[in-house]
Amino acid sequence: MTESRIIISLIVPTYNAAAWLTECVTSVTGQLPDNCELILVDDGSSDGTAQAVCRYAEERSNITAIPRAHGGVSAARNAGLDAARGAYIAFLDCDDCLKEDFFSQGLRLIESGADLYIGGFEHVDPDKTTPMALADKIYDTASDFADDYIRNRHLLVYSACNKFYKNSIIKEYGIRFERGLSFGEDRLFNFEYLRHCGRIETSHMIMFRYIHRNADSASYKKFPDQEKTVLRLHRAKMDCFLNLSKGTTEEEKNSFIRYDRETERTRLLKYYSLADLHEFL
């Protein structure tokens, strides 16, 4: 298999995922075409996940296993990026699952050659499944995309797992996931990537199932220095979109800033009292 044949590289970091690894990987291998590859990066697991990952790689030539010492999800994803041969990059977390038509729809979608594609996902809780979907739309420039986001704020920009990224842009600008963060590394990666985009497309395609497995999920945790990290992410978001936007008014931009600060402050109040907050008062 030569590099020119690989169209999509799907990177899956794994860490102590024995309980759900089979479900995740089977959702990929059951539909993985020859012109796409699966890269499994094990981040120093101690529960047999690393050995399972290597067994999967022995079964097919377009599955690669990368065992490594524990360094966190950003380091694992970066190792996957270093190995990726595809024209486009996609990500999946090891406790989630691909939708059944991910590759067939994705290969058709990326034929237009845009720099970034953003799709939707299913949010799966024990009691219900909620689709998070977008409309089909083409933005000729990142500035047009930023204008729309500032006005509408619902274009699913945070996750790395509902997107197809052009590998050539990632390599040219050396874009990587920042190590050492408790959360938010996806956002910083996306904000940096957007700065280098031309055409961006959103799609009604549902890419994966985001499954809340247990209360230890990062979505429910309180982290050290959480307020400082949230403030940094807020500032990075403002820096990205306010600088990219060329068609919004000052009033629209100020409304965007206020909305984002209030949204983040409300989330922080799940973990802190008002008296404990300093930057988001």
**What residue ranges do the domains of the chain occupy?**
1-97, 99-281
Which CATH superfamily, name and number, covers 1-97?
Spore Coat Polysaccharide Biosynthesis Protein SpsA; Chain A (3.90.550.10)
- Which of 179-188, 217-226, 246-255 shows the lowest mean pLDDT across its residues? 217-226
- Taking 90 as the threshold, does the pLDDT of residue 109 lie above it? yes
Each residue's pLDDT tens digit, 21-70: 999 999 999 999 999 999 999 999 999 999 999 999 999 999 999 999 99
Q: Do β-strands 8-14 and 97-98 pair in parallel, antiparallel, or remain unpaired?
A: unpaired
Average pLDDT, the chain: 92
Cβ atoms of residues 87 and 164 within 8 Å? no
Q: Do β-strands 88-91 and 163-166 pair in parallel, antiparallel, or remain unpaired?
A: antiparallel
Cβ atoms of residues 64 and 57 within 8 Å? yes
**With b meaning 16 or more CB within 10 Å and e meaning fewer, what string describes 89-125?**
bbbbbbbbbbbeebbebbbebbeeebbbbbbbbbebe
Cβ atoms of residues 63 and 40 within 8 Å? yes
- Distance CA(265)–CA(227), nearest Å, equals 9
Q: Residue 217: what pLDDT?
A: 47
Q: Count of residues for the chain?
A: 281
- Taking 90 as the threshold, does the pLDDT of residue 75 lie above it? yes
**pTM passes above 0.95:** no
Q: Residue 223: what pLDDT?
A: 66
- Taking 80 as the threshold, does the pLDDT of residue 225 lie above it? no
